[in-house]
Amino acid sequence: MANFFTDNKELKFHITHPLMKRIVELRERNFTEKEKYDYAPLDFEDAIDSYENIMSVFGEICADTLAVNAESVDIEGPSLIDNRIHYAKGTVENIEALKKAGLMGFTLPRKYGGLNMPITLYAMTAELISRGDASFSNIYGLQDIAETINEFASQEIKDIYLPRFVNGETGAMVLTEPDAGSDLQRVQLTATYSEKDKIWYLNGVKRFITNGDAEVSLVLARTEEGTSDGRGLSMLLYVRDNTRTIRRIEEKLGIHGSPTAEMVFKNSPAILIGDRKLGLIKYVMALMNAARLGIGGQSVGLCEAACREAEKYASERMQFGKAIIEFPAMYEMLSNMKAKTMASRALFYETARLVDVYKIYHHIEQERQLFKEEKEEAKTYQRLADVFTPLLKAVSSEYSNQIAYDAIQIHGGTGFMKDFPVERIYRDARITSIYEGTTQLQVVAAIRGVETGAYLKRIEEYSARAISHSLNYLKSILLDMTNEYSKMVELVREKKDNEYTSFHARRLVEMAGNIIMGYLVLDMANQDVEYKELTEVFIKLGKAENKQKAEYILNSDIKDLGIFKNITQKAN
Ligand SMILES: Cc1cc2nc3c(=O)[nH]c(=O)nc-3n(C[C@H](O)[C@H](O)[C@H](O)COP(=O)(O)OP(=O)(O)OC[C@H]3O[C@@H](n4cnc5c(N)ncnc54)[C@H](O)[C@@H]3O)c2cc1C
């Protein structure tokens, strides 16, 4: 039996990361739940043991069911019949397998029937699923809807809806409209309150909605008449009924198993979640950040799948009398792919841990007042998570595209055919840098981490950690890269021009990302010599990439922007 959890040593490394102790203690409220539930962990070791068992069951289902079904799901896709979306046969089997194994309601508290798993472990499910079938990650991953309900809804709503997710019902995140994509402030779908019925009614159109026919949806709607910006938007819970029509499901390049719907709401009843006017500013931001973490996992899972397919093929394919993996062009490409996969995975789990800590505090705060030090800790982690999440989403999704591209290259002409999974992986990877906010929008958020010095501060914390003498040569490269990065940040800042900062934003964010990931993999090499070679490959690659970006910044000036504008705006 194959197992996507046990066949990857790095996953265990991340589960046993030192910060997990804090996460588990907080999540388990110092292990007080063992008195109420005989399956709750007794202590930290027991919790880790149980996580590994659960992930092992998960890993087996991903390898033996999801990955096996992936090709037929890709071919069949979902269908729309009588206003209902039907999943492909393999998708239905995948859901059943996870339901049967009791793996729904993954992060939900035990009182609702959930598994009370940390977000870091839930994040890991996105990686494991996507290694088997990235499209399915969008369906299972919509448990984010349940998480958001648990975070912001009233107790009454939680009591009704959360057990439904545990029983396998799915969710949808209903935000995008034809004129409101990256700019969600422009959402026009209205929600009007009826004093008579004591309920809200939704009217309008939404498009590109993943799993649009879900049982429970969270809908971003305009509740404040006469407003036109984000402050007039609220979040509402809608339960599937016949007032909402699915106009069509989209024909897509990839993730065929995941239905993407356009829908019309006509006097559809809905319930307000949390406070009015905080829909976009607070609740959607929280929901999207969770979903962005999920796309990080989807991207890493795709990277892992692409690397494994490429390595297998390169070892077996013979040309010029030898296996192609023996050619420098091939082994270099493959090593870079593996190094980038390890680095983006490290960034992924680091981000998940940061999110985990502050989210748990959010829940504890609903039970009791936080102590001063706890408040401080929660704030620190939230600030870090806010700048790490867009960085992760941008970097990992772009990597999954690059790595899937290279995996096809390693397959040569065969990679262009539908004979091997790599063709599907390539198509599936393409969406990761678009939905849940494009890479450009992630950069708009991540540049704050550059401007406020948040990335630099974190880099300095990493660099203060003790490191084995034998790794000092790699650390000194990272120190040089940090100096170079600080100089470039200063150079751009000196111009005091927002448009110029936006122009170089992606370069600066990626430079910070290379250093951060460099330290994270250095930490892995420090603990296990087996990671040393890939760490060296990654850090040297990061150094070369950062040099190129620094060179570009050094040779640019504000007046260059005029050239780009002339080139692109001549036709207008
Ligand atoms: C398969 C799929 C599934 C989806 N699932 C969901 C879902 O479940 N729920 C949901 O609500 N939505 C969903 N979406 C919508 C998705 O989140 C949006 O497509 C995405 O956010 C981009 O919006 P847009 O398509 O309108 O592109 P636009 O916003 O029109 O962007 C077009 C281009 O302009 C760039 N751009 C825009 N603004 C800026 C800026 N300020 N700075 C720099 N560049 C900018 C973008 O980066 C992009 O390159 C899905 C989309 C797809 C394709």
In whole angstroms, what is the distance from residue 442 CA to residue 439 CA?
Answer: 5
Residue indicated by tokens 């793996």: 103
Cα-Cα-Cα-Cα torsion 135, 140, 146, 147, nearest 10 degrees, comes to -80
Which DSSP letter does residue 109 get? -
- The residues pairing with 264 across neighbouring beta strands, listed in sequence order, are 205, 245
> Do residues 143 and 113 lie in contact, with contact meaning Cβ atoms separated by under 8 Å?
no
First to last CA, the chain: 60
What percentage of the chain reaches a pLDDT higher than 70? 100
For the CA of 211, the nearest atom of ligand 1:
8
User: From atom 6 of ligand 1, which residue's Cα is the shortest distance away?
Assistant: 209
In whole angstroms, what is the distance from residue 453 CA to residue 475 CA?
Answer: 20
Range 156-179 average pLDDT: 95
Cβ–ligand 1 distance for 431 under 6 Å, the answer yes
Pairing between strand 318-319 and 322-323? antiparallel
* pLDDT given for residue 572 in this prediction: 61
Q: Where are the alpha helices (DSSP H) in 236-327?
A: 285-316
In whole angstroms, what is the distance from residue 241 CA to residue 394 CA?
Answer: 36
CA of 555 to the centre of ligand 1 (A): 32
- Would 257 be classed as within a structural domain? yes
Cβ–ligand 1 distance for 502 under 6 Å, the answer no
For the CA of 252, the nearest atom of ligand 1:
1
Estimate the share of the chain in helix, then strand, then coil, as percent rounded to the nearest 5: 65, 10, 25
Cβ–ligand 1 distance for 435 under 6 Å, the answer yes
> Do residues 24 and 47 lie in contact, with contact meaning Cβ atoms separated by under 8 Å?
yes
CA of 175 to the centre of ligand 1 (A): 11
In whole angstroms, what is the distance from residue 73 CA to residue 69 CA?
Answer: 6
Question: Tokens at residue 196, please?
Answer: 């008579």
In whole angstroms, what is the distance from residue 189 CA to residue 198 CA?
Answer: 19
Cβ–ligand 1 distance for 182 under 6 Å, the answer yes
User: From atom 41 of ligand 1, which residue's Cα is the shortest distance away?
Assistant: 441
- Would 460 be classed as within a structural domain? yes
3 pLDDT higher than 80: yes
Task: Give the phi and the psi of residue 395 in degrees, each rounded to 5.
Answer: -65, -50
Question: Tokens at residue 12, please?
Answer: 């265990």
CA of 176 to the centre of ligand 1 (A): 8
305 pLDDT higher than 70: yes
For the CA of 182, the nearest atom of ligand 1:
29
- Would 258 be classed as within a structural domain? yes
Cβ–ligand 1 distance for 260 under 6 Å, the answer yes
pLDDT averaged over every residue in the chain: 96
Q: What tens digit of pLDDT does each residue of 348-366 get?
A: 999 999 999 999 999 999 9
Q: What tens digit of pLDDT does each residue of 225-284 get?
A: 999 999 999 999 999 999 999 999 999 999 999 999 999 999 999 999 999 999 999 999
In whole angstroms, what is the distance from residue 262 CA to residue 208 CA?
Answer: 6
Residue 118 Cα to chain centre, angstroms:
15
* pLDDT given for residue 410 in this prediction: 98
Cβ–ligand 1 distance for 438 under 6 Å, the answer yes
In whole angstroms, what is the distance from residue 498 CA to residue 503 CA?
Answer: 9
Structural domain for 521, as ranges: 453-567
CA of 60 to the centre of ligand 1 (A): 34
Residue 526's CB is within 10 A of a number of other CB atoms, namely 19
Q: What tens digit of pLDDT does each residue of 495-540 get?
A: 999 999 999 999 999 999 999 999 999 999 999 999 999 999 999 9
In whole angstroms, what is the distance from residue 310 CA to residue 329 CA?
Answer: 13
- Would 66 be classed as within a structural domain? no
In whole angstroms, what is the distance from residue 164 CA to residue 170 CA?
Answer: 9
* pLDDT given for residue 522 in this prediction: 98
Q: Given 278, 305, 336, which residue is the final one in a domain?
A: 278
Residue 155 Cα to chain centre, angstroms:
28
Range 159-168 average pLDDT: 95
For the CA of 439, the nearest atom of ligand 1:
47
Q: Per-residue DSSP letters for 434-500?
A: TTTS-HHHHHHHHHHHHHTSHHHHHHHHHHTS---GGGHHHHHHHHHHHHHHHHHHHHHHHT--HHH
Cβ–ligand 1 distance for 176 under 6 Å, the answer yes
Pocket test for ligand 1, best of 183, 209, 235, 435 (most atoms within 8 A of CB): 435
Cα-Cα-Cα-Cα torsion 11, 12, 17, 19, nearest 10 degrees, comes to 80
CA of 177 to the centre of ligand 1 (A): 10
CA angle 330, 346, 147 (to 5 degrees): 130
Query: How confident is residue 390, by pLDDT bands cut at 50, 70 and 90?
Result: very high
- Would 487 be classed as within a structural domain? yes
569 pLDDT higher than 70: yes
74 pLDDT higher than 80: yes
Cβ–ligand 1 distance for 512 under 6 Å, the answer no
In whole angstroms, what is the distance from residue 519 CA to residue 453 CA?
Answer: 17
* pLDDT given for residue 270 in this prediction: 98
Cβ–ligand 1 distance for 259 under 6 Å, the answer no
Cβ–ligand 1 distance for 209 under 6 Å, the answer yes
What are the CA-CA distances from residue 318 to residues 152, 312, 325, 437, 537 (Å)? 57, 12, 9, 42, 26
- Would 202 be classed as within a structural domain? yes
Query: How confident is residue 35, by pLDDT bands cut at 50, 70 and 90?
Result: confident
Cβ–ligand 1 distance for 223 under 6 Å, the answer no
CA of 435 to the centre of ligand 1 (A): 6
- Would 20 be classed as within a structural domain? no
CA of 247 to the centre of ligand 1 (A): 20
Range 133-149 average pLDDT: 94
Which DSSP letter does residue 279 get? I
For position 460, which CATH number holds? Answer: 1.20.120.470
Cβ neighbours for 572, distance < 8 A, ≥ 6 positions apart: none
> Do residues 481 and 419 lie in contact, with contact meaning Cβ atoms separated by under 8 Å?
no
Cβ–ligand 1 distance for 208 under 6 Å, the answer yes
Number of domains in the chain: 2
- The residues pairing with 263 across neighbouring beta strands, listed in sequence order, are 206, 246
For the CA of 440, the nearest atom of ligand 1:
47
> Three-class SS of residue 237?
strand
92 pLDDT higher than 90: yes
For the CA of 436, the nearest atom of ligand 1:
17
Query: How confident is residue 571, by pLDDT bands cut at 50, 70 and 90?
Result: low
Range 91-116 average pLDDT: 95
Cβ–ligand 1 distance for 432 under 6 Å, the answer no
Q: Given 223, 244, 278, which residue is the final one in a domain?
A: 278
User: From atom 2 of ligand 1, which residue's Cα is the shortest distance away?
Assistant: 208
For the chain, the residue count is: 572
Cβ–ligand 1 distance for 440 under 6 Å, the answer yes
Pocket test for ligand 1, best of 175, 217, 265, 438 (most atoms within 8 A of CB): 438
| One-letter amino acid for residue 563 of the chain | I
What percentage of the chain reaches a pLDDT higher than 90? 96
- Would 333 be classed as within a structural domain? no
Query: How confident is residue 143, by pLDDT bands cut at 50, 70 and 90?
Result: confident
User: From atom 19 of ligand 1, which residue's Cα is the shortest distance away?
Assistant: 435
User: From atom 20 of ligand 1, which residue's Cα is the shortest distance away?
Assistant: 435
For position 176, which CATH number holds? Answer: 2.40.110.10
Q: Given 236, 252, 278, which residue is the final one in a domain?
A: 278
User: From atom 12 of ligand 1, which residue's Cα is the shortest distance away?
Assistant: 176
Question: Tokens at residue 562, please?
Answer: 């005029």
> Three-class SS of residue 215?
coil
User: From atom 32 of ligand 1, which residue's Cα is the shortest distance away?
Assistant: 182
Cβ neighbours for 341, distance < 8 A, ≥ 6 positions apart: 300, 303, 304, 307, 399, 403
Pocket test for ligand 1, best of 138, 182, 499 (most atoms within 8 A of CB): 182
What are the CA-CA distances from residue 569 to residues 495, 558, 560, 561 (Å)? 24, 17, 14, 12
Cβ neighbours for 163, distance < 8 A, ≥ 6 positions apart: 105, 112, 113
